[in-house]
Each structure stands twice: as C-alpha cells, then as structure tokens.
Amino acid sequence: MANAVETEEQQDLNCYRTGDYHPVNIGDVYHNRYTVERKLGWGAYSTVWLCWDQIDLQYIALKIVRSAAKKTQSAVNEIKFLKCANGFSKSKVVQLLDNFQISGVNGTHVCMVFEVLGDNLLKLIIKSGSLPLTKVKSIIRQVLQGLDFLHTTCKIIHTDIKLENVCLNGNNDVASEEVPVTIVDLGTACWVNQHFFDSIQTRPYRSPEVILGADYQANADVWSTACLAFELATGHFLFPDIGDCVDKCSKQDVNHLALVVRLLGNVPKELESGSKFFKKFLTPDGKLRRYPDLESYGLVELLTEKYEWDVEEAQTFSDFLLPMLAIDPTEMDKIINWFKKLVKKNKTHSTSDFTKPFLDFDDKTVETDEEQEDPRMYCEGGYHPVKIGDIYRKRYIVVRKLGWGAFSTVWLCWDLKNLRYKALKIVRSDVSVKEASRSEIKMLKSANSIKVVKLLDNFKISGVNGTHICMVFEVLGDNLLKLIIESGYKGLPLTKVKSIIRQVLEGLNDLHTKCGIMHTDIKPENVCVNKNNGTVGNEVPITIADLGNGCWISPNMSFPIQTRPYRCPEVILGANYTENADVWSVACLAFELATG
C-alpha cells in the first residue's frame, strides 16, 4: 500500500483481498472526520489506526474490521456489548465513541472508534520483565472490578482476558503504586445466558471447564485473570502452551490439564456433568488417564524454587491467587463472595486528559504538509535540527512537528515520565532571541490565568548551531487561523465569535490586572482551541498562547508592537500606549473571526 504505516510485525499482505482487511493509507479520512495518522496494531479480526478527530479535536483509535461475514457479525455483537458497558461510568471498559460502516475494494467493513489508551500489559511486561506485587494486585483488582461490572450489570462474559486485552490509561505514571488500567476488545465476548462459541479463551489462559467441553460461566474470566496475575508477577505463563498440535483436543489439552493437576490437584468429579471430554482425558476420580501418577507441587513451592521468591512473599501471593483458580463447582458461592470483597478494595479511577499511546519512530527529520521553515536557518544562531525519536532532558521523545515561527520550532513529544503528550518549543540560538525567550519564561511563570497557556518545564540544550532555550507546554488544538481557513474564509457564527472573544478578554484581563503583563501580539495564530475540551455547542474553549513578544506594563511604553493588521493607532503614531492596545487587537480579531 502506498504510504502505508509500518508496525513492529505486519499482517500477511495476502489478506488484503475480498473478505479480509481494508487497505488504509496515511491521510485517509473516514466518516468525514477521522484522519489517519499511523497504524497502532492489527489482529486476526481487524487493523487499528491512530486518527485525528477533526470535530472533537482529539486523537482516537479507529478499528476497521475484516469484511468476512463472521467477522462482521462478531463486530456487530461487540458494538452491542460496548454500548451496554458504556452506559455506565467508571466501568473499567474501553469507551466506544462512534461506529459506522465503509465500503471498499474488499467489501463492507464495520468500523469502531475508541478512546486512545496506553500500552497493553504485554508491552509493559516486555519492557520490565515483571512487576512488583503491589502493582500486580492493584491491576488485578481493577480488572476484577471491570469484570464484576460486565458479569453482574451487563450480563457479559469477556472470554479473552489476557495481557494484550488490558491497557494502561495513557495519562498515568507507571512509576506510581497505582497503575490505572482499562479492559479492551470485546470482539469474542458473549452474553452470560447466550454463548456463541464452545471453545473460548487464548490457550495459556483457558480454564479447565472449557478444555473439558463443559458449560462455562462468568468465572472463566476470573481463571484467566489469575493466569494474568501470575504472568505480571513472574514474567512467565502459569500454564505455558507446550507446542502446537494438529489435534487441539488431545495432546495439547492433555498437556494443559497436566499442568493444572500438578499445581491444583485432581479435577473435581463434579465437573464431569455436562462435560464432553471428561471421560476421554480423566478417570472417574479426576486423575489424568495419560499421567495418573503426577506429583503435585504447590504454588508456593513453584514460586520459591523456580523463581526464588521469599517464602513469606510467595505465601502472600498464593493466598491472593488461589481463590481465582478454584475449579470445584460446589465452591462457587465462596468464590463469588471472595470476588465481591476483592473488587471493592482499593478502587482506582482514571482521569481524562489529552493523552495517547506511545508511538514508534523513523530516524528522519519530521515533515508536515504545510509550508516549511527556511532550511538556510539551520545554521549558527538559527534553528536546532530535530529528528523523530530524539530524546530531550531524558524524557521528551519527539513524535512530529507541530509548527514553526520566526523564533522557534515546535514539536509534539511524548513525556516518558508523565506518560502524556507535550509541546516542545526549541528557540533559535541567536542571542537576542534567547534574551526574549528568557523574558517569555518569566512572564509565563507569572501568568496566572486558566486562559493562558501553561509552561510545564524549561531547560537548555547545546547543539551544532549553538545553545537553545527549550520550553515545554501543554498540548493545545488548532489556532484560530486554521479555524478561519476551515470555514472557507466565510467566518464563524456570531455566537461562537462572542464566546471566543469573551474568553480572550478574560485571559487578557488576568494578564493585565493580576500579572502586570501585556501580550502585544493578539492575532488568530496566537489563540488556540483547547484540545482537551473540544467544541461544546456554541462554546469554543480557547487558550491564549505565545508570550514571546509580551512585555511588562509600564507608564511610558512606546516601542513598536503588534502584527500590522492588528496594530492600534497610537502604536502607528509612535505615541505612548497602554494595555488597551491588546483590546484593539482583540477587536480586529473579532471582525476577522466573524467575516473571514
């Protein structure tokens, strides 16, 4: 595919055919609002893409399902499950924001739009090897809390709990004891009283009743959660899949059951009722026919001998884990009561913010589709050369360029410490420009207004072109100039214009009266939409940006200020001016917003 985005491992290109994946290119726009930026991943049923929502001004994850009839039906079911789950707040289940269908060269595809989350737990384990028990317990309690909600409120069984299907909430710090998570992918889920498949769950997380072909209930999800907990704590499967077999209901199942029996003892004979394969694999007393004399070992023994855990720590974790691994149906009431107590403990709630998952990078200079800065300015005293993937201050990883100006370039970066996106402004190394930047930093630190952009960090870097001042800001949306351009230069409705101007004046009033600061360069480029808030009715929450030309208010101000079309008469005449010069610029801004 032309301009196709790459991931660590690509799906089979032969699957881009009738009944399979839909070909996607960077820049494609779906549903007249979602612009594709890059691939997030893929699976047996779909591809997932990071997109920019042009209406709500935020990133979303777009899942495009393969067009085969069975895949389409599964997607239709998933949408029903998600709409049921999303009808309640704090459900710990991923939010479905939109859904629609598209027609392409390979058929009709169901599309789902989700909130963007952070890495899944598999990536976390790959990076860390294992997690401290405090974090494991925090994560498991949240997963069980989400499952309790699905099971009891929605009457849904997830059927595929595993590391890949639990994601970090991207705006949370992994270094903290609490690691808020969200359950994702209800693509193979079923109703508690209506099962779609006899065989469920990915092999290492599969419960004994499913292996034996017995009727399963919601507690099958709890078994998978126990397997997930062990994997988080040790970095290894509790019941590893021992090779692929042609007959998945024979040798592979026997090996799996052998691991279960060694750890937990014989399978209860009560499980025989309704089981298709109990007699095939097991004796009447629950012993494996193929391995009747298996020596058992307890979970504590496994943890202390194989993983060299401290006995006390192993016992604590065993006490936490074993209730989830109960397979005796007669003990189900006890399991449910334990489950209810556990999910009520230590509940954590996620916060919403402009956050996205970590992105991969290519080793090349970032490009945008808009006009580029003069490459001759990459010289001594000029811009600092930046590449995607560069890391600044050991925490800010460059993702792409946001823009540039006469004094600086601005880059979208991922903050490794706070796990959220930031805007990094790298100032030219020219002495006079650096002096202006130092003044800007002082003003930004003094600016006390919710309508003025927040300076989150500042530092210096040394590069081939000199020493550069860097400023880190919250990430905002498009500036008002882009809003005007998108309107076809026809202007915005007056109700929205009044809303924007009222907020700009509020911000300026704070700067003038509380901080003693004059902005001096109010224009559409320096007022941005709040990406966190989006547009709500006629309200367009905004933030004043760029105090690079700001000054402290003094009695005799007369030096030249303001961009020409927004310049007030007293500045043109070289007379003394006051902070009211900012208000003149706002009036010019208002006319431009209303007329284009």
Residue 314 to residue 303: CA distance in whole angstroms: 6
**Is residue 522 a contact partner of residue 580, using CB atoms and an 8 Å limit?**
no
- Identified catalytic residue from 20, 53, 148, 160: 160
**Is residue 399 a contact partner of residue 361, using CB atoms and an 8 Å limit?**
yes
> How many other CB atoms sit within 10 Å of the CB of residue 292?
11
Task: Give the N- to C-terminal CA distance of the chain in Å, as an integer.
Answer: 39
Burial class (CB in 10 A: 0-12, 13-18, 19+), 368: exposed
**Is residue 108 a contact partner of residue 72, using CB atoms and an 8 Å limit?**
yes
> How many other CB atoms sit within 10 Å of the CB of residue 128?
13
DSSP 355-402: --------SSB---SSPPPPGGGSSTTSPPP-BTT-EETTTEEEEEEE
DSSP 150-219: IIIIS-EE----SGGGEEE-TTS-TTSS---EEE---TT-EETTB-S-SS-S-GGG--HHHHTT----TH
Among positive and negative, which fits the CA dihedral 104, 109, 115, 118?
negative
Among positive and negative, which fits the CA dihedral 126, 128, 130, 134?
negative
CA distances from 182 to 143, 165, 201, 566 (A): 8, 9, 18, 48
> Annotated catalytic, 333?
no
Both structure tokens of 290? 């193929």
> How many other CB atoms sit within 10 Å of the CB of residue 122?
15
DSSP state of 323: G
Amino acid, single-letter form, for residue 446: S
Burial class (CB in 10 A: 0-12, 13-18, 19+), 272: middle
Task: Report the catalytic residues.
Answer: 160
